[in-house]
Amino acid sequence: MIYVFKTTVNTEHEVAQLKPYIDKIIPNSKWNFDLEDCDNILRIESTENIINSIKLLFKIYDFGCEELD
């Protein structure tokens, strides 16, 4: 399944900060940020339901994260 999130991550530095934690909570998934999109999209391809884990991670690190339909 592909999950799409609107985020407040704005820079490659912020992506690098989150990378080890994203990799840890969803180790067998593919993910990427599109910082050129106005919503700073995070796309995750995963067989697991990762919505709550991702939202919690972003909350812990003071980033906004909202799942898009």
Domains of the chain: 2-68 (3.30.70.100)
**How many CB atoms sit inside 10 A of residue 14's CB?**
17
Question: How many angstroms from the chain centroid is the CA of residue 6?
Answer: 8
Q: Report the distance separating Cα 69 and Cα 59, nearest Å.
A: 20
The closest alpha carbon to 58, from 67, 46, 49, belongs to 67
> What pTM was computed for the model?
0.93
- Contact (Cβ atoms closer than 8 angstroms) between residue 29 and residue 23: no
Instruction: Tell me the torsion sign for CA atoms 51, 55, 58, 63.
Output: positive
Give residue 65's pLDDT band: very low, low, confident or very high (50, 70, 90).
very high
Per-residue pLDDT band at 69 (split at 50, 70, 90): confident
Two tokens at 28?
């067998």
Instruction: List pLDDT tens digits, range 10-42.
Output: 999 999 999 999 999 999 899 999 999 999 999
